[in-house]
Amino acid sequence: MSNKRRLFVDFDLTLVDSIKAYADTYNIMFKDHPDFTPADPKMITEYDFSCICPLLTNKEDKKAMWNNPVFFDVLQFIDNDTLPVLKRLHEKYELIICTIGTPSNLALKALWLKDNLPFIDNYILINNGNCEMSKSIVNMRGAIQIDDIPSNLEGNSEIKILFGKEYPWNRGWYGERCLNWKSVEKRLLFAEKDRME
Ligand SMILES: [Mg+2]
């Protein structure tokens, strides 16, 4: 077991740009449909994507996008600093990816993580009923947690950081916030160093 402090990192919209991947997948799948207009990730207002992907008319089709291999082919880190900052954080912290999904989504996520973040050994893949946004079944005592959904931060982690831009589904968070991975680095590497000097 590592002596480093644990840092639990969320997957969708914290490590990776899931909104862009969802829109790109939709644009590939529906490009030949007569009523197709390209989905623009910047226009999103709700997390079920109806606003930018109107040809996905039922719940099952919307859900299936998260298990589509195309989604994981086009999926990218959320910003250009994500990978280099994670590598630097890995020196100091025990990184653990903690994410919620369905079994098929989690299987593809695990493979994406193995290919794209080979230096991270630990994943916690949560399948909790109907993908309820809660990670409280994981013991994060003493740890730092980064996530883009406020309800996922309601467990027992010691330092809670809400990641990313403000969206309708993450309003109402009054705790710490980091807009991007540069500010995560500043908060978790540089700020601690300043305090020690
Ligand atoms: Mg997330």
Q: What's the CATH number where 112 sits?
A: 3.40.50.1000
Buried b / exposed e along 59-81 (16+ C-beta atoms within 10 A):
eeebeebbbbeebbebbebbeeb
pLDDT of residue 131: 76
Burial of residue 95 (CB within 10 Å: 0-12, 13-18, 19+) is buried
* Whole-number pLDDT of residue 14: 98
Q: What is the pLDDT of residue 2?
A: 77
How high is the pLDDT of residue 190? Answer: 85
155 C-alpha to ligand 1 centroid (Å): 15
pLDDT computed for residue 175 by the predictor: 95
Q: What is the four-CA torsion angle of 39, 44, 47, 49, rounded to 10 degrees? A: -20
How many distinct structural domains can be found in the chain? 2
CA of 32 to the centre of ligand 1 (A): 31
Rounded (5°) CA angle 16-98-27: 30
Q: How far is the CA of 4 from the centre of ligand 1 (A)?
A: 24
Residues 188 and 133 in one domain: yes
| Residue 34 CA, ligand 1 centroid: distance in Å | 33
82 shares a domain with 58: no
Which residues are placed with Cβ below 5 angstroms of ligand 1, an ion? 10, 12-13, 148
The rounded distance, in Å, linking the Cα atoms of 148 and 124 is 17
Q: What are phi and psi of 141, to 5 degrees?
A: -55, 130
Pair 66, 115 in one domain: no
Task: Identify the three-state secondary structure at position 27.
Answer: helix
- Give pLDDT, residue 197: 46
* pLDDT score of 195: 54
In whole angstroms, what is the distance from residue 8 CA to residue 155 CA?
12
Q: How far is the CA of 176 from the centre of ligand 1 (A)?
A: 16
| Domain co-membership, 94 together with 164 | yes
Domain boundary (58, 74, 90) is at: 74
Give the domain extent around 191: 5-16+77-196
Interval 128-159: pLDDT, tens: 777 788 999 999 999 999 999 999 999 999 99
Same structural domain, 99 and 131: yes
- What's the 150 CA to ligand 1 centre distance in angstroms? 10
Q: Are residues 10 and 46 in the same domain?
A: no
**Together in a domain, 10 and 97:** yes
Q: For the chain, which residues score pLDDT lower than 50?
A: 197
CA distance 88 to 7: 13
Query: What span, in angstroms and rounded, lies between the C-alpha atoms of 107 and 81?
Result: 26
Give the contacts of 122 (CB within 8 A, at least 6 positions apart).
94, 95, 96, 97
C-alpha dihedral over 70, 21, 121, 192, to 10 degrees? 170
| Pair (137, 186) in one structural domain | yes
